[in-house]
Every structure is written in structure tokens, then in C-alpha cells.
Amino acid sequence: MKSDNIKKGLARTPHRGLLMATGVSKKNMDAPFIGIASAFTDLVPGHIGMRDLERQIEKGIHSGGGQAFIFGTPAVCDGIAMGHSGMRYSLPSRDLIADCVETMAAAHQLDGLVLLSNCDKITPGMIIGALRLNIPAIVVTAGPMLDGVCRGENKLTMISGSFEAVGKFRNGEITEEHLLAMEENSCPSAGSCQGMYTANTMACLTEVLGMSMPYCSSASAVSAQKRRIAFESGLRIIELVKDDIKPSDIITKESLLNMIKVSLAIGGSTNTFLHTLAIANAAGIDITIDDFDRLSREIHQIVKINPSSTLTMTDFHQAGGIPAVLKSLYEPVKLDNTLNISGLKISEISVSAYADETVIPKYDKSEYTQAGLGVLYGNLAKDGCVIKISGVDKDCYTFEGSAKTFDSEEDAMYALENDLIKSGDVVVIRYEGPKGGPGMREMLAPTSLLVGKGLGKSCALITDGRFSGGTRGICVGHVCPEAANGGIIALVQDGDKIKIDIPNRSIELLVSDEELEKRRKELKPFEPKIKSGYLAKYASNVSDASHGAIV
């Protein structure tokens, strides 16, 4: 065991003394040392229930014959960080979390890890850390929160009950009293926000990848089932250590391609492009944005969850969750029969899965013809950009409009809040990419305001930043090259025509090459917004979004 490096032999007497100071008994000194990397914080709703899950994991580890040690990692709540400078830290925290997991486990020579996560960047960050270490590891995602209920409205979510509700209030559709009532009732429990936003998408895809137990992704944060899964994960990590089953045995090219296929079929968050590419990079596996593009032309969606429908994660779980999705997709899209850390293969999970086919239908019975996510190319995005097709009305699959340009999210929000955006406009928000932001901020506030103000079908939004999994409407993100790197998005001017063509996967700025060359000669060099601290270091080392914004 790796932990023998800190506990075996006479030379390790001081080490054992220090370990005994933490409460490790002499008998347990021979047990596998298992770290519980916990993202607990009482700042984040998705994480406030983790103290209980830590205990359940710890019980499982000790019941299996191991010795548990809990340590912490950062956790950013995107909802709270949204719409201000704090969001710049969200995506960069992924690498910080990976560094924390790697540092703590390697410094203390741990034999295995249970990674207790929930929200957006934390889950991929922990997986990246585990891949660097390549010691046995299991992910426990803490689960979604319950649906909100307010004044007879059921299935309220963080998006519909707060972000989009602000737009409805500004549009005169609801009173301030009603808005405040929704504010109080839209997030009624611990857990990740209720739709197929980035947190829940990444939880689902982690289960597909094989790194968490079946049903872990959709079991409610406040359910007894979640507590049992946490306990069973603690038990299982001891078996993985004994059998030396490592992340590199689970995370393969085949399991990553399965992850992409399921992402396209469930129409998850566009952020999965970034995180899948970053995980593949950490694993040393050749997966590119072209794999998303190729598969998105072959696979169609089977289920739409909020924000693309009124169904929530509660409905998804009751309909069978990820095992039901695997059952639907296994043969029709040729999922590889990869291994789950439970010891079961995908074929075994899918064959025994329950599926409510009114929610998660058989693949050939789906009413949808497009993938849930797509990659667009054109002169505006030579290296690609992404769109959540599942969140776009079919009548808007082809859209042409006039550009309204903004060099920051704040400027765009001012225009939206003061009714300066009209039907037919294409809101262009630039200098918000990984380098330009820095940190590639999510644009949930402006996209939600567009929808709330009734402009979701008549306006588009394009950015070199990114979107929340809660975004819907004609919203194109991850434009590459970004403005800070001299991308064409930096050359767009007010009034320019932009055409978005989802069926043909294209996005074009309808301006001549000659005019663009003239504008490029007049373009001022990019001046970094942040010149010191963590974000400055991040901006100087980060790659573009089409490569996963990896550092």
C-alpha cells in the first residue's frame, strides 16, 4: 500500500506518532488509508448536506476495514457568483480543486479516495486530481435539491423561480410580492439546482463514465437512498484498493466517448465540452471537439429536462435515471460495454434498469431529431463554438439578426435592463473568454433576462464566455478564437448581420474579408483586465475553450 511509506518501519516512528495524534489506533495503522475529499461548505446549497454524507462514507470505509481521513477543497456556487466579478473564479477553481486533491493525497500517501462533490467545476476538478494520482477513487455526487412550490406553481427551479422570474417582473408579468415569494420557495432544500444544469449534467456523466455508483447522480440530496449510496461507496473503495482498480482502468477512450454520446442524448450543459476535454487531457486520451461534432450529427436527443422542459431531476430519477438512459441507448448508439466502479458493466446496469418510457423512451421512439448539443463552425468561430440545441425552439434553428456589441457582461446587462435590446438583435458579449475574462464567466443572468423579457425566440446571444446549464434560447458560447486572442468576434461592429444555422452547424458574420482585414488593422491590442493574483496567473497559462480551457 502507498500508505506504507508513512507508517512502516522504525524510521517512520515520528510519522506514526503524528498519525496517532489524529486518533488512528495501532490496530488501524495497518488498514488502507482512505481520503475523503469533501467540498463541504455552508456557502453552497448543493454542499450544505455533505457533513451527513461524510459520516456515511466514513462509516462505509471503517466497516470495510479502512481508516478514513477527511480533507477539504474549495467550492464556488455559480448561482451566487453569477453576474459579477466573482464568476471569474468559477472555472479557474476547477484546476485549483485538482491541485488540492493531488496535493493532499500525494503528500500523505493515501491508498484511495472518495471524492465528495456536487457542483459544476468541483466534480471534474476532483476527477482530474484523481487521474493525476491514479490511485483507486470513487466519486459521490451529493445530489439534486427538491423542486420548489409557490402559490400553486409546482416544479419551480432556481432558473424559473428566480433568474427568469426577474425578467418577468421587469416585464410586468408578475408583482414584486410574487417575485419575493418565488425567491423564498424556489430552492427549498439542500442539493444542486433542480434541472439538467452543469452540476447535474456532470453528475450524470460521471456515472456514465463509471466513476460513481448507479443512481448516484439523480438520487435526491436529502434522500435515504443518497445516504445509502454514500455508505456503499465507502465500502466499495476498500475493495477497489485491494483489487488495485484505478481511475485509468475506468476512464478510457471508450468510456469518454460513452460520456459524450449520453451528453448529446440528454441535452445537458454546454460546459460538458470543457470538462470532458479537460478530463481526457488529464487521462492522456485523444478526445477533441471534433468527436462532439461528429457524434452530434449521428445521435439524437431522447429526453429534455429543465431548462429545456418542465421536467426536473426528480422526474428524471423517478423515471429511472442514468441506468434507464443506458438501457435506451446501449444497442442503438453502440455504447461500449465499459466498467463501472460498482463492478458492473454497462450491459449489466442497463439490462436490469427500470425505465418509465413516457419520460425516458426507447431511442427509436424519441420525438427528437437533433442532438441536445452541437458544435458550430464559420468565420465567426474558426475553431468552433457550442450551442445547447435542446434549449432552442425548432422555429429558431436558423436565425439571422443585427449585432449589438458589448465588451463585458455588465455592459450587456445594462442594455437589457434598460430595454436597449430589441427583437431581431444578436447580443455579442466578448472579452469574456478564458484569457479575456479572465475565467470565462457564465452568462446566465443575460440569457435568463432575455427569456424572462419574452425575447428568447426573437433575439440571439453570442459570447466567447460560456453559459450555465440553466441557459436556454438561441445562445452560442465558447466562440474560438476568443476576442482576447484576436478572434473575429473582436471585429464585430453594431449593425453587422450574423447568421446562425443549426441544421448546417454554421455561424457566419456576414461581412467581407476585405472589411474584416481593414478592421483588424485598426484593432487595439488586448489589455488584461486582471494583472495580479490567481486570475492573472490563470489567464497567462490557460488554453482556449476548444481545448477545454486547460491549464
Residues with catalytic function: 468
3-state secondary structure 362-421: CHHHCCCCCCCCEEEEECCEEEEEEECHHHCCHHHCEEEEEEEEECCHHHHHHHHHCCCC
Sheet holding 112-117, edge to edge: 67-72, 33-38, 112-117, 137-141
CA dihedral 378, 383, 389, 391 (to 10 degrees): -110
How far from the centroid of its chain's Cα atoms is residue 265's Cα? 16
How many CB atoms lie under 10 A from the CB of residue 120?
A: 32
Cα(94)–Cα(100) distance, integer angstroms = 10
Cα(507)–Cα(492) distance, integer angstroms = 13
Q: Among residues 89, 169, 166, 159, which one has the least CA distance to residue 125?
A: 89
Hey, what's the cell of 245?
A: 482498480
Q: Among residues 525, 491, 483, which one has the least CA distance to residue 509?
A: 491
The separation between the first and the last C-alpha atoms of the chain, rounded to the nearest angstrom, is 31
Cα(310)–Cα(439) distance, integer angstroms = 31
Hey, what's the cell of 427?
A: 447580443
Radius of gyration, CA atoms only, the chain: 23
- Evaluate the CA torsion angle 378, 307, 256, 481 in order and state its sign: positive
Mind giving me the DSSP string for 282-328? HHT----HHHHHHHHTT-------TTSSS--HHHHHHTTHHHHHHHH
Q: Which residue has the cell 496567473?
A: 537
Query: Phi/psi of residue 256, each to 5°?
Result: -70, -40
CB of 490 closer than 8 Å to CB of 380: no
Contacts of 407 (CB under 8 A, 6+ apart): 430, 431, 483
Tell me whether the omega of the peptide bond preceding residue 481 falls within 30 degrees of 0, making it cis: yes
CB of 413 closer than 8 Å to CB of 444: no
CA dihedral 432, 438, 440, 444 (to 10 degrees): -70
How far from the centroid of its chain's Cα atoms is residue 194's Cα? 14
